């Protein structure tokens, strides 16, 4: 029943182009969209479950010392309180998603300020919150611990770097060179829906209604934390109100709810407050990046250096992969890229909105702007001259890469030729400037499974534990199945977000649509083969359209062919040699116009354009929306977004959306997105690459470069707030 496809060779089967339904690529609405915006979709903490108790996490007031609950008995006696739980399993760091287990450090010790250390369970949410606020946490025997990455001990990550040729020599010989250091702050994922879990036990079986991105991993993490077999755990997450990396792995409320439900014998809900989302789920590491670039007289890069410092808690394995796309974006034979991981006692660092490129390419693109200025070359032209023929480190071919086209087409669409000279265009108080940056992001295919059922009435159902975190999974999987089976979109039901269903790749790293979509494609391919067999025709001679099969000049309805039977197939895709044989990535270019107020230093983004190439576009509307979202993240990253930590103890000063500033509608100008036509046979039979995160990979750099063009001020310390611009 299971059809397997291991991507060991390029898929040259252009089947989707030959299908008759016209669904794949169409800008269809998300079927769950109206449910999500009308309050009809039920989110994790909205289930009305009988006898539900409520848990509230209590956190460490410092980052060292042994945890003691000072007034536990008094709190346990408060009205409505059912339990005060101090269980070492609560103290685990948030998990990292891709099965990379967070180590359990000394479970009785506090490691960062805000770390969950206890849970109070009560009859009502208000009683739980009141009791939790009354619980006093004493930290005994603690000593000051490093929280500042600049002064903390660090560990080099040689596997992430490269040392090729002689960069120092290239610097000495270069016609033009730059040596600049940039800093980017920590970012919070800040999804709209705060993390929440309702746990319910039936005997030894646990059901968790949660809000997560990668359910098969989340199930394993939860089982592992509780010390039970994964078969005992079912996670349901049909609707997820954004993840942005913070729901790749478990956040602390899931384990807490499961422990509390076991201990009280009742279903228990634990919902994070907004400050808790900021302080206990993962942050993006801040970065310090020294970039050195050298060019010859023709503006060809002879050397690239990027030395990054990032941070995480002691023992954590994740290090922000700053250099990920620097390895292949530009030519240059002398390359020295290095990554150091500082050990600090701030909350755990992990994947947030395009880990790596979001900060790495942004800074590289600011440095490229500085180099263009130093060399007297137009910024677009500098990039055009440095597109490498092959991967400059591995020598591998690129699977597909319309990078030059994105630069040219974007420049044309934006009107780049009218770029003013530095600090030369003024409208009253406002200085006007243009900026641009390249976009690049790795492409990944992940193992994924889906089951497709063609029912006797000629409708279809797609089932997988894949999630839709607002990215378009419900729409896209329905489009692929409809296309392959010749059904209108409305005749395909898509069921997601349940670990009882075949295990998918999950939503993360921009791999979701192509990986889970390929598993649906493979299942549908098997169904088509079976239909053809029933009809005694070659599958290639079979056209499926509007619920009918057309073959040998005959037309028959699917219902008639099925004759009361159903066909059920599972598709299973695995990455193979194509992931290693070539360099797979997505590319693009951003163009921005800003106005900077000469009196206040305020920057307004006036126009923004992005041209992107990411293989086949599976849904032109959801793809565009992802790009818009990424570019809006870029506005925040460039101008306002930063986690402000107290340098003494790692306390987060701005733990809510009132003080952690992200763009609102009034900050977002007209944004245009161009999706370039591309097919990538190496990526998958869908010939699609991941587009989810491409729009943020460099966007903020284009804005900061535009600020320079407007004002002549280089801000090398993100975000470019008013005080830094003036
Ligand atoms: Mo993403 S930061 O891999 O959800």
Given 580, 603, 623, which residue is the final one in a domain? 580
Atom of ligand 1 nearest to the CA of 510: 3
Same domain, 590 and 497: no
pLDDT at 12: 85
Whether residue 505 is contained in a domain is answered as yes
Å from CA of 299 to ligand 1 middle:
35
Given 545, 580, 615, which residue is the final one in a domain? 580
Q: Is 28 in the pocket of ligand 1 (CB under 6 A)?
A: no
Helix (H, G, I), strand (E, B) or coil at 595: strand
Whether residue 110 is contained in a domain is answered as no
Asked whether the beta carbons of 147 and 345 are under 8 A apart, the reply is yes
Q: Write the CB contacts of 594 (distance below 8 Å, at least 6 apart in sequence).
A: 432, 433, 435, 603, 604, 605, 606, 703, 706, 707, 710
Q: Write the CB contacts of 323 (distance below 8 Å, at least 6 apart in sequence).
A: 160, 161, 162, 306, 308, 337, 338, 339, 356, 360
Same domain, 415 and 455: no
Ligand 1 pocket check: which of 285, 350, 351, 443 to mutate, most ligand atoms within 8 Å of Cβ? Answer: 351
**Long-range contacts, 219-222 (Cβ 8 Å, 24+):** 219/499, 220/99, 221/95, 221/99, 221/101, 221/249, 221/250, 222/250, 222/254, 222/255, 222/258
- Mean pLDDT on 603-624: 98
Whether residue 500 is contained in a domain is answered as yes
Distance in angstroms (rounded) separating the CA atoms of residues 439 and 383: 11
pLDDT at 93: 67
Distance in angstroms (rounded) separating the CA atoms of residues 143 and 475: 53
Same domain, 437 and 449: no
Same domain, 648 and 600: yes
Q: Is 353 in the pocket of ligand 1 (CB under 6 A)?
A: yes
Q: Is 508 in the pocket of ligand 1 (CB under 6 A)?
A: yes
Whether residue 105 is contained in a domain is answered as no
Q: Is 249 in the pocket of ligand 1 (CB under 6 A)?
A: no
Å from CA of 96 to ligand 1 middle:
10
302-334 pLDDT, tens digit each: 999 999 999 999 988 999 999 999 999 999 999
628-683 pLDDT, tens digit each: 999 999 999 999 999 999 999 999 999 999 999 999 999 999 999 999 999 999 99
Same domain, 653 and 606: yes
642-651 pLDDT, tens digit each: 999 999 999 9
Å from CA of 281 to ligand 1 middle:
13
Atom of ligand 1 nearest to the CA of 469: 4
Q: Is 355 in the pocket of ligand 1 (CB under 6 A)?
A: yes
Same domain, 691 and 604: yes
Same domain, 718 and 626: yes
Helix (H, G, I), strand (E, B) or coil at 383: helix
DSSP β-ladder status, 2-7 and 567-575: parallel
Residue 20, pLDDT above cutoff 60:
yes
Same domain, 478 and 589: no
Same domain, 595 and 491: no
Whether residue 662 is contained in a domain is answered as yes
- Mean pLDDT on 286-309: 97
Same domain, 498 and 590: no
Å from CA of 185 to ligand 1 middle:
18
Identify the domain containing residue 509 by its residue range.
Answer: 2-30+445-580
Residue 105, pLDDT above cutoff 80:
no
Residue 517 CB coordination number (10 Å):
29
131-166 pLDDT, tens digit each: 999 999 999 998 999 999 999 999 999 999 999 999
Helix (H, G, I), strand (E, B) or coil at 275: helix
Angle at 634 between CA 633 and CA 637, to 5 degrees: 85
Query: How high does pLDDT run on average in the chain?
Result: 96
Q: CATH number, domain at 620?
A: 3.30.365.10
Å from CA of 677 to ligand 1 middle:
25
Q: Is 690 in the pocket of ligand 1 (CB under 6 A)?
A: no
Catalytic option among 221, 483, 678, 693: 693
Q: Write the CB contacts of 490 (distance below 8 Å, at least 6 apart in sequence).
A: none
Q: Is 243 in the pocket of ligand 1 (CB under 6 A)?
A: yes
Confidence of residue 100 (pLDDT cuts 50, 70, 90): very low
Q: Is 248 in the pocket of ligand 1 (CB under 6 A)?
A: yes
Same domain, 666 and 616: yes
Q: Is 238 in the pocket of ligand 1 (CB under 6 A)?
A: no
Q: What pTM value is reported for the model? A: 0.97
Distance in angstroms (rounded) separating the CA atoms of residues 558 and 550: 10
Q: Is 242 in the pocket of ligand 1 (CB under 6 A)?
A: no
Residue 98, pLDDT above cutoff 50:
no
Whether residue 468 is contained in a domain is answered as yes
Is 693 an active-site residue? yes
pLDDT at 104: 53
Atom of ligand 1 nearest to the CA of 352: 2
Atom of ligand 1 nearest to the CA of 692: 1
Distance in angstroms (rounded) separating the CA atoms of residues 561 and 535: 8
pLDDT at 417: 98
Given 551, 580, 609, which residue is the final one in a domain? 580
Distance in angstroms (rounded) separating the CA atoms of residues 502 and 507: 15
512-559 pLDDT, tens digit each: 999 999 999 999 999 999 999 999 999 999 999 999 999 999 999 999
Atom of ligand 1 nearest to the CA of 244: 4
> Per the structure, how many domains does the chain have?
2
Give the residue whose CA is nearest to atom 4 of ligand 1.
Answer: 245
Residue 27 CB coordination number (10 Å):
13
Whether residue 151 is contained in a domain is answered as no
Confidence of residue 113 (pLDDT cuts 50, 70, 90): very high
Whether residue 456 is contained in a domain is answered as yes
Beta bridge partners of 450: 571
Atom of ligand 1 nearest to the CA of 355: 2
Same domain, 699 and 566: no
């Amino acid at each position: 029943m299971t059809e397997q496809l291991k991507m060991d060779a390029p898929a040259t089967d252009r089947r989707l182009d030959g299908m008759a339904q016209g669904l794949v690529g169409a800008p269809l609405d998300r079927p769950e969209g109206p449910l999500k915006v009308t309050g009809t979709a039920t989110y994790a903490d909205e289930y009305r479950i009988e006898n539900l108790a409520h848990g509230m996490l209590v956190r460490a007031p410092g980052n060292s010392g042994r945890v003691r609950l000072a007034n536990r008995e008094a709190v346990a006696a408060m009205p409505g309180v059912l339990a005060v739980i101090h269980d070492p399993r609560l103290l685990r760091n948030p998990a990292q998603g891709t099965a990379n287990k967070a180590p359990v450090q000394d479970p009785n010790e506090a490691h960062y300020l805000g770390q969950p250390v206890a849970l109070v369970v009560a009859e009502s949410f208000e009683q739980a919150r009141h009791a939790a606020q009354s619980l006093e946490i004493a930290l005994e025997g603690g000593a000051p611990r490093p929280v500042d990455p600049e002064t903390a001990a660090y560990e080099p990550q040689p596997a992430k770097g490269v040392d090729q040729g002689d960069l120092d020599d290239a610097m000495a010989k270069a016609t033009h060179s730059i040596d600049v250091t940039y800093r980017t702050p920590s970012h919070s994922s800040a999804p709209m829906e705060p993390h929440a879990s309702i746990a319910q036990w039936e005997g030894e079986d646990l059901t968790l209604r949660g809000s997560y991105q990668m359910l098969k991993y989340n199930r394993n993490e939860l089982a592992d934390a509780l010390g039970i077999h994964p078969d005992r755990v079912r996670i349901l997450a049909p609707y997820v109100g954004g993840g942005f990396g913070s729901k790749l792995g478990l956040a602390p409320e899931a384990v807490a709810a499961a422990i509390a439900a076991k201990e009280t014998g009742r279903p228990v809900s634990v919902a994070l407050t907004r400050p808790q989302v900021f302080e206990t789920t993962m942050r993006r590491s801040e970065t310090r990046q020294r970039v050195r670039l050298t060019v010859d007289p023709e503006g060809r890069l002879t050397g690239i250096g990027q030395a990054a410092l990032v941070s995480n808690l002691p023992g954590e394995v994740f290090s922000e992969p700053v250099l990920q796309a620097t390895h292949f974006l530009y030519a240059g034979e002398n390359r020295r890229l290095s990554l150091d991981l500082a050990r600090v006692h701030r909350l755990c660092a992990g994947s947030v909105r395009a880990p790596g490129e979001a900060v790495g390419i942004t800074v590289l693109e600011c440095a490229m702007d500085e180099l263009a200025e130093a060399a007297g070359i137009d910024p677009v032209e500098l990039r055009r001259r440095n597109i490498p023929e092959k991967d400059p480190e591995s020598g591998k071919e690129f699977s597909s890469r319309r990078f030059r086209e994105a630069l040219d087409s974007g420049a044309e669409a934006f009107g780049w030729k009218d770029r003013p000279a530095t600090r030369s265009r003024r409208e009253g108080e406002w200085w006007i400037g243009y900026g641009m940056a390249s976009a690049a992001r790795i492409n990944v295919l992940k193992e994924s499974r889906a089951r497709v059922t063609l029912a006797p009435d000629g409708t279809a159902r797609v089932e997988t534990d894949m999630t839709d975190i607002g990215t378009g999974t419900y729409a896209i999987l329905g489009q692929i199945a409809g296309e392959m089976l010749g059904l209108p979109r409305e005749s395909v039901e898509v069921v997601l977000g349940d670990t009882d269903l075949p295990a998918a790749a999950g939503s993360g790293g921009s791999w979701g649509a192509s990986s889970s979509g390929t598993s649906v494609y493979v299942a549908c391919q098997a169904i088509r083969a079976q239909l053809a067999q029933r009809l005694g025709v070659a599958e290639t001679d079979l056209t499926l359209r509007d619920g009918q099969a057309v073959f040998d000049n005959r037309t028959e309805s699917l219902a008639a062919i099925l004759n009361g039977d159903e066909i059920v197939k599972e598709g299973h895709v695995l990455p193979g040699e194509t992931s290693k044989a070539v360099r797979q990535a997505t590319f693009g270019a951003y163009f921005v116009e800003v106005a900077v107020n000469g009196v206040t230093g305020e920057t307004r983004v006036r126009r923004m354009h992005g041209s992107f190439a990411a293989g086949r576009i599976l849904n032109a509307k959801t793809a565009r929306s992802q790009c818009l979202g990424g570019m809006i993240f870029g506005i925040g990253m460039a101008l306002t977004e930063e986690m402000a930590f107290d340098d003494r103890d790692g306390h987060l000063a701005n733990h809510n959306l009132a003080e952690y500033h992200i763009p609102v509608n009034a900050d977002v100008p007209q944004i245009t997105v161009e999706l370039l036509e591309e097919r990538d046979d190496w990526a998958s039979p869908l010939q699609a690459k991941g587009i989810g995160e491409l729009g943020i990979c460099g966007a903020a750099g284009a804005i900061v470069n535009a600020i320079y063009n407007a004002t002549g001020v280089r801000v090398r310390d993100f975000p470019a707030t008013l005080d830094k611009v003036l």
